[in-house]
Amino acid sequence: MGFMDNIKQLGDLKKMRDQALEVQKKLAGIKITVEHKGVTVVMTADQKVISISGDNDLPAGQAGFDKITEAVNESLKQSQKVAAEEMKGLMGGMGMPGM
């Protein structure tokens, strides 16, 4: 492996890093809203919770906590789906075998 091959690899790594940062910024700008059993969770596609709110009839105690937990988990699933779709484009552009 020659010096020029090393330079090319560095250029490829920089390109991949730049693409990853671009996807990361894009995910941070995508908001996902999930309403589940009276709880609304707003989350970015990079899995940062923006807000959690509940109906006025949301039960107190463990029952309410369980509903909030379910809603957060559902919003995480949705954000993972969005992130996976965005990453498909990134991985396709990198020409990485097996991805």
pLDDT digits (tens, 9 = 90+) for 33-73: 999 989 999 999 999 999 999 888 888 889 889 999 999 99
Of 24, 12, 25, 35, the residue nearest 96 (C-alpha): 12
Give the CATH number of domain 32-91: 3.30.1310.10
The residue ranking higher by pLDDT, 93 or 80, is 80
What pLDDT score does 1 carry? 59
Q: pLDDT tens digits for 83-99?
A: 898 888 766 655 444 44
Q: Is the pLDDT of residue 26 over 80?
A: yes
Q: Report how far apart, in Å, the C-alpha atoms of 62 and of each of 52, 55, 56, 67 are.
A: 16, 16, 16, 9
pTM, entire model? 0.71
